Amino acid sequence: MSKRKIYSVIAILIVLGVYGYDYFLNQKDQADIVEQGSTIKQQTNEYFLPTSTTGQMVHHEGYSLSYSEPHEQAEWVAYELKKEQLSNTNFERPYFEIDKAVKTGAASWKNYKNSGYDRGHLCPAGDRNYSKSAYDETFLTSNITPQEHEFNAGIWNTLEQKVRYWANKYDGVFVVTGGILDDHLKTIGNEHVSVPNQFYKIILDNNNGAIKMIAFLIPHKNSNEPLYSFVVSVDEVEKLTGIDFFPELDDSIENKLEASSNYKNWSFN
């Protein structure tokens, strides 16, 4: 073999080695991110986390989620909104980024482009205004779902603002929210992100052990109806989703609270 051919082979082997090493590093970085996402974070209130029907739970600093690969979005996002976290700080909106902590791969933001749907936050950016990192974290694609603009900016936004009102009034609340993910939903994008027909939000107030909860189930369209007209029992949302929302609660307390759709203990003023 001529020296030229030998040098060519050596050059090819070097290039392959560099690419192989880069691939190894990328895979290791990805594995590290997934492992970090599987770890409960310090400020996560694990006691109130729902079950995951998908087996893929991810914990970020500001919220936790259970990712549904078939629907390419979270089946639920859960977080605590404390009174001291409420803030009117106006951070610059970042670009949406794919959530690398999702082991099966979160959907790209590109699925939403020209789809006619908003990239609807499940954990609102407005609930994480207490720090830039927490705010930016809400722009991960595991935290978004396709929402009609009129719904997102209308009745859903009204409910988000009410949650902040309750967090202030009751000195903090715990929130679980998501879309009703069932079969035969419309999808968008190359990755077939499901478009829910209904969205739910469950709010729990734990005042020195005196727990109360309220659940909302809202059709995916804007409405001028009052928020309390969408109140349902937690049991009803559990039947639609298959999720056990507060499995760590004592059964007698859980069964009583989750069966009720009474909203009289919640201020709608």
What residues are annotated to the active site? 121
Tokens of 73: 């979005």
For residue 96, give the amino acid letter: F
Contacts of 78 (CB under 8 A, 6+ apart): 48, 49, 50, 63, 64, 65, 174, 175, 176, 177
DSSP bridge partners of 212:
205
Distance CA 3, CA 219 (A): 72
Q: b vs e for 97-116, b when ≥16 Cβ sit within 10 Å of the residue's Cβ?
A: eebbbbbeebbbbebbeeee
Distance CA 165, CA 71 (A): 31
Contacts of 192 (CB under 8 A, 6+ apart): 72
Distance CA 201, CA 176 (A): 6
User: Which of helix, strand or coil describes residue 235?
Assistant: helix
Distance CA 196, CA 30 (A): 29
Strands (E), the chain: 57-59, 64-68, 73-81, 118-121, 144-147, 173-179, 187-188, 193-194, 198-207, 210-219, 231-232
The angle subtended at Cα 251 by Cα 245 and Cα 253, nearest 5°, is 85
